[in-house]
């Protein structure tokens, strides 16, 4: 595998409006790809999705481009999928409740995949800056998941978190909205975006796990990235990368763990592999637009 560093062009340091360029080559798959993805938190005020992207794929025998894949939905699926995979190893198996700060498309996808991985979930509390987004969240999912009791918490973030077994923050802002004191019952926390939890949340954790620590600590915008830069976390404070646990080089959750913090930065090789999977399946069903 070839994995160059991600390049980010940040247009507004306050909102973190940006476009990311994420290249990777999967030698065994004979594929090279690059995801071009925009992340615009300010789109929330314009009724436009925050995250939009495409992935360009080329085969590496002759270098010919083979596909341009719409990756807006795939990005949501990949992000939530990695978190759900992590929960298989890090969350309690009998988790019954999940609490959200953030009610957008990424939050919805997280509930979908977490319910698939944890059928025991019967309670979902959702909070957001606006009542409207909470209502849309519930309306879009309540009919599909009739066994889940949904609670709209509006902008009362504390209400959505207290008593929740699994906690997800999926917001686009740069504000520490999650407080450590609220995590009275949480056994697993998924950090999705940038700076969205106070430092004490990570300091409270029995284990901190990342998908790729080197990528996280140099990202700069995520909470534990800031903690690393401020000298409050070092390499030794990171228990493991997710791959180490999957490959059984390190143990996941054990009986001593009360609360585990999972931070996903998102890696280009995941996006390229997922885009290739979609391309291959599209070829099988003949659902490709040739230009």
Between CA 231 and CA 188 the distance in angstroms is 24
pTM of the predicted model, to two decimals? Answer: 0.88
- The CA distances from residue 167 to 124, 147, 259, in Å, are 10, 19, 11
- N- to C-terminal Cα separation, the chain: 29
Q: Inter-axis angle of helices 72-90 and 268-285, to 10 degrees?
A: 120
pLDDT at position 159 is: 97
pLDDT at position 42 is: 85
pLDDT at position 140 is: 94
The residues, any chain, with a CB within 8 Å of residue 164's CB and separated by 6 or more, are 97, 98, 99, 123, 125, 185, 186
Q: How confident is the model at residue 47 (pLDDT cuts 50, 70, 90)?
A: confident
pLDDT at position 193 is: 77
Residue pLDDT, tens place only, 152-168 = 999 999 999 999 999 99
Four-CA torsion 251, 255, 259, 265, nearest 10 degrees: 20
221, pLDDT greater than 60: yes
The answer to whether the CB of 155 falls within 8 A of the CB of 128 is: yes
Delineate the domains of the chain, giving CATH numbers in brackets: 7-73+269-285 (3.30.1780.10), 89-266 (3.40.50.720)
- The CA distances from residue 256 to 169, 186, 207, in Å, are 25, 14, 10
Between CA 259 and CA 206 the distance in angstroms is 6
Residue pLDDT, tens place only, 165-194 = 999 999 877 788 999 999 999 999 999 877
pLDDT at position 102 is: 92
Q: How confident is the model at residue 50 (pLDDT cuts 50, 70, 90)?
A: confident
119, pLDDT greater than 70: yes
64-88: average pLDDT = 92
Q: How confident is the model at residue 220 (pLDDT cuts 50, 70, 90)?
A: low
Q: What is the secondary structure of 165-213 as a DSSP string?
A: SEEEE---S-S--B-GGG-SS-SEEEE-SSS-B-HHHHHH-SEEEES-H
Q: Residue 8 forms beta bridges with which residues?
A: 20
91-118: average pLDDT = 94
DSSP structure class, residue 240: E
Four-CA torsion 195, 197, 199, 204, nearest 10 degrees: -140
97, pLDDT greater than 80: yes
291, pLDDT greater than 50: no
46, pLDDT greater than 90: no
pLDDT at position 171 is: 85
109-115: average pLDDT = 95
- The CA distances from residue 235 to 208, 210, 231, in Å, are 11, 11, 11
Q: How confident is the model at residue 288 (pLDDT cuts 50, 70, 90)?
A: low
Q: Go through 47-56 and write b for each residue having 16 or more CB atoms within 10 A of its CB, e for each that does not.
A: eebbbbbbbb
Tell me the chain's radius of gyration from C-alpha atoms.
19
Between CA 100 and CA 87 the distance in angstroms is 15
CB burial of residue 285 (10 Å; 0-12, 13-18, 19+): exposed
Which H or E run includes 82? helix 72-90
């Amino acid at each position: 595998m070839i994995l160059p560093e991600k390049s980010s062009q940040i247009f507004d340091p306050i909102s973190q409006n940006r476009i990311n360029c994420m290249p990777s080559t999967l030698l065994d798959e004979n594929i090279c790809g690059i995801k071009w993805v925009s992340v615009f938190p300010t789109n929330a005020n314009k009724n436009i999705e925050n995250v939009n992207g495409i992935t360009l794929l080329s085969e590496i025998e002759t270098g010919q481009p083979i596909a341009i894949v719409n990756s807006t939905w795939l990005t949501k699926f990949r992000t939530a999928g990695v978190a759900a995979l992590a929960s298989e190893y890090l969350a309690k198996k009998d988790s019954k409740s999940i609490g959200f700060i953030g009610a957008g498309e990424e939050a919805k996808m997280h509930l979908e995949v977490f319910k698939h991985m944890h059928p025991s979930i019967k309670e979902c509390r959702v909070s957001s800056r606006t009542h409207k987004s909470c209502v849309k969240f519930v309306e879009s999912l309540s009919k599909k998941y009739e066994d889940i009791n949904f609670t709209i918490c509006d902008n009362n973030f504390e209400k959505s978190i207290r008593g929740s077994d699994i906690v997800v923050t999926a917001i686009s802002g740069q504000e520490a909205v999650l407080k450590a004191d609220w995590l009275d019952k949480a056994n697993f926390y998924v950090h999705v975006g940038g700076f969205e939890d106070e430092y004490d949340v990570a300091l409270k954790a029995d284990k901190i796990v990342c998908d790729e620590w080197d990528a996280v600590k140099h990202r700069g915008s995520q909470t534990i990235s800031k903690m690393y830069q401020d000298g409050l976390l070092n390499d030794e404070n990171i228990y493991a990368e997710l791959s180490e646990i999957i490959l059984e080089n390190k143990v996941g959750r054990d009986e001593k763990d009360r609360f585990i913090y999972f931070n996903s930065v998102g890696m280009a090789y995941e996006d390229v592999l997922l885009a290739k999977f979609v391309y291959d399946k599209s070829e099988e069903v003949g659902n490709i637009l040739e230009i």
